[in-house]
A and B are shown apart, each in its own frame.
Chain A
Amino acid sequence: MQSKTIENSKSWNLVFCCWMIASISTLGSLFFSEVMEFPPCVLCWYQRIAMYPLVLLFLVGTFQSAKSTFAFTFPLALTGWVIALYHNLLHYEIVPESASPCLEGVSCSTVYIDWFGFITIPALSFLSFSLLLGILLILKRNNYYEK
């Protein structure tokens, strides 16, 4: 039983951090859509699909080996990160809107919040996914040297 759980405390802290980041991102996005009633655009939905399951995966991960946690969460985090990157490129008009999949409903380049001139919802999403990817890579390295 003991062998199944995370071996060292550094790895555990990293997984716990990931869980917190995923939880805060999930609750934050729910706050924007359910409390502030901003309608999520298509790209936001794709990012949510990647982010929401991570909350449960990391939660289970705090009681599993770091190796399997990495294996299950990395693909989701990477997918979310790529979509978030694309969303930001769209947002900053590096990719033209006409190339976006949002033809009807809410436009993906609509700006809902803009704190201090650069903190937007897509930017927050990109930050979360980047942090997750970064921590996951540290987790992998950390575990590699442990063996």
Chain B
Amino acid sequence: MKNRKLLVILSGFVLIGLFAFAAKSYKSYESSRLGFLSQSDSSVFVPDYAPQFGDEEAKVYLTEFLDPECESCRNFYPRIKSLLKKYKGKVKLVVRYAPFHRNSKHAIKALEATRKQGKYWEALELLFKYQPKWASHHHPQPELIFVYLKEIGIDIEKLKVDMKDPKIAKMIEQEVSDLKLLKVRGTPAFFVNGKPLEKFGITYLEELIQKEIKKSY
């Protein structure tokens, strides 16, 4: 009777211990894998086609996977902007896409096409601003994007042609395959110089940025 109790208690502890050990090893394996990726292939985090915002000379790359249709990305955007302002000259933003919603691809195509008219950042802000309208849950109207983009003087006819560029479709495919490689399953997802943000939140992000600035400067 006593032996049975002891066996049950011991087994319980062994199982929980094994679980904790496996969890720890997995986490350290993952972070070293990502570290290795960023060293051997920085294009995973900073592909040459991705739009960049900030000083050319900045040494800290903040890669953000975002979805124009994601509400959390919308809420984060002004905070990211103020972070970039605060660490001006040291940090630059690299925008990547995570098309996780129904009309994401349409919005991304339109957004990418605005680059040809030199209005990318204004267009991104505009899409976030009117997100509740064109990406409403009950009644999404992706075609409204064209109406709003006129506000910043986009030539819609040209945009509609540019959107069909096979390069954009190919780029989205690359983004999706990188999402799988980096195991990004939610947006916004952040990497600072290839290091993943482990705990989600703007303060944690700022801490990670400060850490990388210290290392690079």
Contact = CB atoms under 8 A, between A and B. Distances in A.
A35 B15 CA distance: 16
Contacts of B27: 35
Contacts of A31: 19, 22-23, 26
A134 interface: no
Counting contact residues on chain B (CB < 8 A from A), the size range is 10 to 19
The secondary structure that dominates the A interface is helix
Contacts of A16: 4, 7-8, 11
Interface string A24-38: 100100110011110
Contacts of B8: 16, 19, 59, 62
Interface in A11-64: 12, 16, 19-20, 23-24, 27, 30-31, 34-37, 39, 59, 62
Contacts, number: 35
B4 A20 contact: no
Interface residues of A, number: 17
A27 B11 CA distance: 13
A27 B19 contact: yes
Contacts of B16: 27
B12 interface: yes
15 contacts: A12-B4, A16-B4, A16-B7, A16-B8, A20-B11, A23-B12, A23-B15, A24-B15, A31-B19, A31-B26, A35-B22, A35-B23, A37-B185, A59-B8, A62-B8
